[in-house]
Structure 1
Amino acid sequence: MNAIARISDFDDPGFDPFKTFDTAAGLFEIMDPWPRFHELAARGPVQVGSLREQFGLEEFALWSDVPSYMVFGTEAVTKAYLKAPTFSNEIMMRVYAESFGASINGMDAPEHTRYRRLFQQAFMPKQVLSWGSHLVPEVVNRLIDGFVGNGKADLVREFTSRYPFDVVYAQLGLPKDEGALFHKLAVGLMCIMVDYPHAVEASRKMGDYLLKLLNERRQGHGDDIVTMLAQAEVGGERLPDDIAVSFLRQLLNASGDTTYRGTSALLVGLLTNPDQLAAIRADRSLVDQAIDEALRWDGPLTAMTRQTLCDVELMGVTIPAGAKVDVVQATLNRDPSRYPDPDKFDIFREQKRHAAFALGPHVCIGQHLARIEMNRAVNALLDRLPNLRLDPDYPPPQIVGFNSRAPIELRVLFDS
């Protein structure tokens, strides 16, 4: 079979899932949500209401029939995340079941625990370090090769929005000519709340493709993630195809998208604070704490959604069973009682655990890989782009959006 024929584009190849998703995420409407987040958090840790509606965005129709609550601040956010499965992830199945399928993100214990242990094997420290030593630098440097001689670049368009996805393509062992279309379908899956037909179409086509890959690699000897899942077993039984396909469906968004947004925020923080950029340029041991500061300061997601399985009291407020709960982790990350001057990007501040990757049993399975990718990316840019700085001919970069946040562009100059 011709390799490129294994994956199919949308029936309407002109459909742009990237623009559709960014619009739904408020990327073009919400420029700076932080004053409103601080205002809401000051009103109390648990409140009735929909977070989207607090920002003038229409609530998704799927949730219009359930009561909505919001959770703010360090103590309430931590308790909500750690009180699983009372604050259940099952609501995500309600959202994404027809796009991602039987996702572990929509499971609670014991089912979630059972499958997470297996998937975690793909992200063991030895494997992650191997990717960080060979695969990630290869991808990063290949992209930098494309603009290093120009003396200028848009680091979002030419670098941060591309390199994490190229890493995932390599981890999956995808042929290069299938990566871009795989990415397009993966973002299409995320449009389920605003464009149901296209999301379901993306789910079907990506599912067909991934099942072919699993079957092809069931007897293989590769070290890619698809081969690992194709041959994995749970309790002596092979991992069900639907569970494996679902995990692979969401991997690009869960891994690539968050790393793209996190790296973009990190570069905005450094480039708009030249003294901190100079400090890192002189002492690369500061890179890791700069990464954590960027994730705290403007992490990829501001909130996650849970649903109560029973009546539960949180911070003196009784939340009824079946309620949708927006856990606003951004208000832990910028809690003024926890971080002095929390809206300031400061790589030298005292490091405390943030919630950019969530907390509790659903903490991001790939967070260590994300940090390594961001580390390799920043080091490579500093190594290869001397005197990296903002381009004064363009407005200063701004991270925008309601939940999935990123700068639209990041124009820089450097000595070529």
Structure 2
Amino acid sequence: MASKIAIQDFDDITYNPFDSDEINFGATLDPYPQIAEWRATAPVIEGDYRSKMGLTSALYPDRKVFTVVGTKEILETLTDMDRFSNEGYKFNIGRTFGEGSISTMDNPEHGRWRKIFQKIFLPQNVKPWGEEIVDPIVKGLMDKFIPRGEADLIEEFTILYPFAIIYKQLDLPVDDIRTFQRLAIGQTDYVNADKAIEAGRKQGVYFSQLVEERRKHPGDDLVSLLANTEVDGDYLPDLVLISFLRQLMNAAGDTTYRGTSILLTALLDNPDQFDAIRADRSLIPQAIEEALRWDGPVLVQLRMAKVDTMLGGVAIPAGSLLDVVAGAANRDPAIFADPDRFDIFRERKPHFSFSRGPHICVGQHLARVEMTRALHAVLDNLPNLRFDPDKPRPEIRGSMMRVPRHLHVRFGD
């Protein structure tokens, strides 16, 4: 049941949110040597990560900020909810996704609403979506460029398919897809805060109408499911539900696009490992986990100190913000041997790319399903996939969030 409700684009139709990626998240080719240098100096450093990486701080209040790069301290900050809070996110995503975002909440409120999302996004529930939803969308995109024998897999595939999957799950009008994607990306343009807030407001208006419509006429779409799922007598309040729908566009769309792009780039850069997967597709899960570890799409997570405390020998005043560099833990040589090397055969250990503790990513199982189906489709439909020798090699860039801008390939004979 496709909705007849229309969504409004930005007032300034010349504004292009896709141009804001570098301003917001940086264009650093390799931030890891700098991160390793910090980690070797101290596990906790005063000052915010963005400024240290030469970026403009955005939507942060005037308060102390610390950068956490020691693995022990990263784990401590992400899991000790008595000392560290997720309320720090109220200063950025809370302003665009809404104050009902579970990412800004602590327990018991967080746990009360998260259990409903967890019920819907359990592995056994999202697995069938791979064949029913992901595969047709991926096939439709690939059919457009397969006859050419060449493509830019970013522009023509990875930046499109995760968003198209969300639109299908929500049963949204196909004609509105481009507008939805513009607003979803614009929600995190914190340097242009007015545009980020406008994007969140317009999605909020739309989703409020959509939820009302789907409660009156429920279907088998995700909006209807979220609006009508009950756990222990609780239903999601509209404020929480609408904030989640706003965030879904970014969390499930943007990060999956980045993760898939990095995975394909890494495999093409390591043809022996790609050949191994071609010969044995049971290696796909470990390839996905290694890509997430090696260069996860989101390097930094945010927490706020609830009390005066010590962390890594540094005094942290209550109310301070902490930039928790998950990428530092993912490349800690004390945990991962030769951590800067992409190696799908390395010993499997948990990474930090989906966070840890109570706020571990609720959509991680769906992300894995989408990346798995995408890689299967690449193997099935793009034989002899290789970099296009006549085009520039991809460069994974970013200080906060990582992705290559282009992935020019050829395939076939």
How far 1:234 sits from its partner (Å)? 6.2
> 1:346 aligns to what?
343
In 1, are the aligned partners of 2:153 and 2:407 still within 8 Å (CA)?
yes
Structure 2 counterparts to residues 242-321 of structure 1, below 5 A: 242-321=239-318
How many residues align? The count is: 411
SS in 2 for 1:218: helix
In 1, are the aligned partners of 2:121 and 2:363 still within 8 Å (CA)?
yes
Q: Deviations over 1:159-195 (max 9, x none)?
A: 111111111111111121122211111222112x212
How far 1:238 sits from its partner (Å)? 4.2
In 2, are the aligned partners of 1:386 and 1:414 still within 8 Å (CA)?
yes
Q: Deviations over 1:207-263 (max 9, x none)?
A: 111111111110334222110122234664542211111110110101111111111
In 1, are the aligned partners of 2:115 and 2:231 still within 8 Å (CA)?
no
> 2:46 aligns to what?
48
> 2:35 aligns to what?
37
Distance in 1 between the 2:234 and 2:124 partners? Answer: 25
How far 1:349 sits from its partner (Å)? 0.7
Instruction: State the superposition RMSD in angstroms.
Output: 1.6
> 2:149 aligns to what?
151
Structure 2 counterparts to residues 112-191 of structure 1, below 5 A: 112-191=110-189
Distance in 1 between the 2:382 and 2:231 partners? Answer: 47
How far 1:149 sits from its partner (Å)? 0.8
SS in 1 for 2:310: strand
Distance in 2 between the 1:202 and 1:56 partners? Answer: 26
Distance in 2 between the 1:122 and 1:66 partners? Answer: 38
What is the letter of the counterpart of residue 71 of structure 2? Answer: T
Distance in 1 between the 2:235 and 2:43 partners? Answer: 44
Query: Among 219, 222, 237, which residue is 1:225 paired with?
Result: 222
In 2, are the aligned partners of 1:87 and 1:306 still within 8 Å (CA)?
yes
What is the letter of the counterpart of residue 155 of structure 2? Answer: R
In 2, are the aligned partners of 1:147 and 1:153 still within 8 Å (CA)?
yes
Distance in 1 between the 2:296 and 2:272 partners? Answer: 22
In 2, are the aligned partners of 1:69 and 1:325 still within 8 Å (CA)?
yes
Cα distance 1:238–1:289, how it changes in 2: closer, same or farther (>3 A)? closer
Query: Among 319, 322, 325, which residue is 2:319 paired with?
Result: 322
SS in 1 for 2:151: strand
> Mean alpha-carbon deviation: is it higher for 285-294 or for 176-185?
176-185
Unaligned runs of 5+ residues in structure 2 are: none
SS in 2 for 1:69: strand
Distance in 1 between the 2:399 and 2:385 partners? Answer: 29
Q: Deviations over 1:355-399 (max 9, x none)?
A: 010101000001111111111111111111110111111232111
SS in 1 for 2:249: helix
TM-score, normalised to structure 1, is: 0.95
Distance in 2 between the 1:234 and 1:346 partners? Answer: 41
Q: Deviations over 1:117-157 (max 9, x none)?
A: 01222212232011012211111111111111111111011
Distance in 2 between the 1:4 and 1:173 partners? Answer: 11
> 2:396 aligns to what?
399
How far 1:70 sits from its partner (Å)? 1.1
Cα distance 1:63–1:221, how it changes in 2: closer, same or farther (>3 A)? closer
Distance in 2 between the 1:241 and 1:223 partners? Answer: 19
**Once the two structures are aligned, what percentage of the paired residues are identical?**
49
SS in 2 for 1:6: coil
Check if 1:7 corresponds to 2:4: no
In 2, are the aligned partners of 1:330 and 1:355 still within 8 Å (CA)?
yes
How far 1:315 sits from its partner (Å)? 2.4
